[in-house]
Amino acid sequence: MLVDILQKHTYLYLPENISLENRCVEIDRKSNTSRGSKWQNRRKILTPAFHFNILQGFIGIFNKETEKLIRILERECDKPYTDVTRPITEFTLNSIGETSMGVNLSEGNSFYKDAVYNMGHVVTERLLKPWLLNNILFKLSPLARRQNKLVKILHKFSNRVITDRKKLSLTDEEMSYSVKKQLAMLDLMLKAKSDGSDIDDEGIREEVDTFIFEGHDTTSMAICYTLMALANEEKIQEEVLEEIVDVLGDSNKLPTYNDLMDMKFMERCIKECLRLYPSVPFIGRVTGEDIKTCTGYTIPKGTDINIYIFDLHRLPQYWKDPEKFDPDRFLPENIANRHPFAYLPFSAGSRNCIGQRFAILEIKAALCGILRKFKLKSIDTPQQIKFKSDLVLRPFNEVKVKFVLRK
């Protein structure tokens, strides 16, 4: 049985074992599992939630949550350093709650954040122990009992989010699904259910679980590593600030959607951080056909494959001096000469990250507020950051940054 499990799960470092030609997309596109129609139906329902008209309306919430974050960081200025993971995670969780879910998550969410963190440990431990990939063996293990407890916590939280939003929709005419307006993600799912679409309460909870879990944790780590990287790149940090001032002026004007879109250098810095520190360090795919690799090995149809994005983003054949922080890698002329699948922070193909524009805008809004208020001083260097095995690229210890109030 153990041999069958090991043969079924092949973990590849993709660029060394298989050409980067359209396989990233082909594997995804040709996967025709029983979950395909379910995924397509959900994607169709959710896609309008990330239309630019919706995203424009979220900027005000990002700005409001950034102001809260800045007040927290102001209290940290007297300390030798700040572990940015906790305040940034609070910021992203509150932001995803008020935007995509339409509810306030600022109170009573510490148990949820702990459960998310611990759930990552459970999933990773199971992946690292092949015998636990067998459901029968897993259900007999202490790890399964721990997972069940965490799942109850996570489901309780997501059920609360859905219930709170339903109450708002019933009491506030502007939230009514009969009003012709652009709806946030949770509203769209509730409306789809009321219109008879193929999604029930369980399906709504599944999507809420996914979006709160992934929508706050991945963006949180992206911001943390960006702050750490900019703290170590003083010249680049000041160039980002100059661009912010050029776009917004020296006043306290809050950025609009168009302002954030105009910050091209900041976006290149964010993309470079996502290259060095991809929030999701690997993705999984299932082969839809037999694949012959460059080395002559045949990967059978139906094999689970992990694509190691962290390693891909540091391959010298695609990235000159890969450990160097260089935002100019993402100038249009440099992008044009690079393989389209050499950079996959949001996956690729039809199952790419639906919320990638949301994430970039949220990171930009946070950086605007933070860099106008503080100068970032390095405590941790990139060489000192150690990573642990997890679903998200999580540091083994803290991510330390010193915040100094600008005069």
- Output the known binding site for heme: 353
Neighbours of 340 (CB within 10 A): 12
Q: φ, ψ for residue 302 (rounded to 5)?
A: 85, 10
CA 85 to CA 74: how far, in whole Å? 16
Task: Show binding-site residues.
Answer: 353
CA 210 to CA 281: how far, in whole Å? 17
Closest listed residue to residue 232, CA positions, set 265, 281, 272: 272
Strands 400-405, 374-378: pairing is antiparallel
Exposure string (b/e) for 161-178, b if CB count within 10 Å is 16 or more? Answer: bbebbeeebeeeeebebe
Residue 119, token pair as written in the block:
């759930």
3-state helix, strand, coil in the chain (%, to 5): 60, 10, 30
Closest listed residue to residue 389, CA positions, set 282, 303, 284: 282
CA 21 to CA 11: how far, in whole Å? 18
Bridge partners for 286 per DSSP: 304
Closest listed residue to residue 228, CA positions, set 356, 369, 398: 398
Residues with Cβ within 8 Å of residue 381, at least 6 apart in sequence: 232
Closest listed residue to residue 231, CA positions, set 43, 404, 44: 404
Residue 376, token pair as written in the block:
């970032």
The answer to whether the beta carbons of residues 222 and 282 sit under 8 Å apart is no
Closest listed residue to residue 100, CA positions, set 192, 215, 8: 215
> Token match 């170590």: residue?
232
Q: φ, ψ for residue 304 (rounded to 5)?
A: -75, 130
